[in-house]
Structure 1
């Protein structure tokens, strides 16, 4: 008797990487690129790439005022991770923000090598526990790091931003190594900022 073949499930569609979406948007036809276009291109895997995208300027580019511009979207993303949403929702005021295609192309050419290097570092390994619980932990840590970005401390944005990038890598591929790195970087960032604030308060008390 011929054995009945078991039904096979359809192959898992690989997640779209941020670098792929940026290339697609750069080669499009519209005169402007909106943040909502980027979120739509990433579909239901938008949390991790957007965390990396908004953290990179604070970690590597050191653009004046970048922490204020990127901090709000990072907090919105973190809160939705904590709430257990499956995809990112952005308010219209952010989703409709756009830049002209030539400026977008310059940003892509400058940032793409960094983003591709970061993407190559993650792979599925050593993932602990239930995904939903870990996602909420990542969201909470990202929220704290985004709040630290708002503090007016010179050259202190890099550590929280690197922590967010590490957690974005962990989330993108379920990479336990980057999860540990992100949690450790988050703890270090809190201690680093607390030390600066404490030292400043102590120095001020001596002056007064």
Structure 2
């Protein structure tokens, strides 16, 4: 998984967007192989935010196959982090799957203003929710969501909801914001309840 970029310190969503846009502007197409060194191979939070933003963004998340790839990315990453692997292994087909850089730049610019607002709201609180067992619960939850992503592609808006959950959890971890983690769990419960109600 070699790349020309080095891992940057990602402390909020704006910094992540800037780094991804910088990579995107250097090539016609951008792949996971190009982005992973920026996210870091032991940095769970930026990986979740990246996968979430790609999935929830209308320009990218609606491309067939993208939610499934992001779900598989999260599943493989979480599984290896839980087993304390020092380096994340991803299959070549996933690393080399690319999308037009122009779309990534457009999404980054679209997210810039709300990201600035969101970053100002984040702060350390209820930190037990993002420590030890809290982090484990988040990881397992994201693992299960990732497994369901292929099925979500055929149900309108569910993949976007999963992407929102990834993003919220990632932001909670990156900011040590346990209140946001609680909101993410509540969002998932509400999302499931809405789905069950819809089926009934």
Offset at 1:124? 2.0
Q: TM-score, normalised by structure 1?
A: 0.70
Aligned-partner Cα distance in 1 for 2:78–2:67: 15
Offset at 1:114? 4.6
Q: Gapped runs of 5+ residues in structure 2? A: 1-7
Aligned-partner Cα distance in 1 for 2:72–2:148: 12
State the match for 2:30 in structure 1. 33
Count of matched residue positions in the alignment of Structure 1 and Structure 2: 185
State the match for 1:124 in structure 2. 124
Structure with higher RCO (Cα < 8 A, 6+ apart): 2
Offset at 1:170? 1.0
The structure with more radius of gyration: 1
The CA RMSD measured in Å over matched residues stands at 3.1
State the match for 2:164 in structure 1. 162
Q: TM-score, normalised by structure 2?
A: 0.72
Offset at 1:159? 3.3
Aligned-partner Cα distance in 1 for 2:45–2:108: 18
1:54-93 aligned within 5 A: 54-61=51-58, 63-65=62-64, 66-85=66-85, 88-93=88-93
Secondary structure of 1:128's aligned partner = helix
Q: Is the 8 A contact 1:145 1:161 kept in 2?
A: no
Are 1:43 and 2:45 matched, yes or no? Answer: no
Q: Gapped runs of 5+ residues in structure 1? A: 1-12, 200-208
1:1-208 aligned within 5 A: 15=10, 17-28=15-26, 30=27, 32-43=29-40, 46-61=43-58, 63-65=62-64, 66-85=66-85, 88-99=88-99, 101-128=101-128, 131-149=131-149, 150-151=151-152, 152-197=154-199, 199=200
Aligned-partner Cα distance in 1 for 2:193–2:39: 34
Offset at 1:87? 6.5
